[in-house]
Amino acid sequence: MLFVAVFALVGSYVWWRGGSLHPWWFGLSASTLLVTLVAPGLLAPLNRAWMRLASILNTIVSPIVLGIMFFGVFAPIGIVMRLAGRDAMRRRLDLRARTYWQERDPPGPDPSGLPNQF
């Protein structure tokens, strides 16, 4: 169904920009819709190829995007926080502390409601 919409949108865009109707885009959209509704099994090889392409793109694009996010967002924030002396997670070692336990006030949720949380 995605390709039905894509072919129809491309045909509409070409018609809108060029002023002339290109019926083969709409014909391709209609024929894809017909095959999708009547015999979807015929599209299984195309679906497998599409998913293989998506998997290949995933192995390439995901590390790049995550690397950009890490080195472009998280690392600079961490560097600025360290330079400012901020310890948001309170991980700094305190040799004078008797314990790192933090008392909660109020103490927390009622334990009787924990067995049936949902």
Q: Write the CB contacts of 26 (distance below 8 Å, at least 6 apart in sequence).
A: 7, 8, 11
| 26 plus 54 within the same structural domain | no
Same domain flag for 31 and 57: no
pLDDT at residue 83 in the model:
95
**Residue 80, in any domain of the structure:** yes
- Mind listing the pLDDT tens digit of every residue in the chain (118 residues)? 888 999 899 889 888 888 777 788 899 899 999 999 999 999 899 899 999 999 999 999 999 999 999 999 999 999 999 999 998 888 888 889 889 888 887 777 777 877 877 7
What's residue 19's pLDDT? 75
Q: How far apart are the first and last CA of the chain?
A: 36
- 102 part of a folded domain: no
Q: Are residues 11 and 28 in the same domain?
A: yes
pLDDT, position 88? 87
Q: Tell me the residue range of the domain where 29 lies.
A: 1-38
* Spatial distance between the Cα atoms of 74 and 5, rounded to a whole number of angstroms: 38
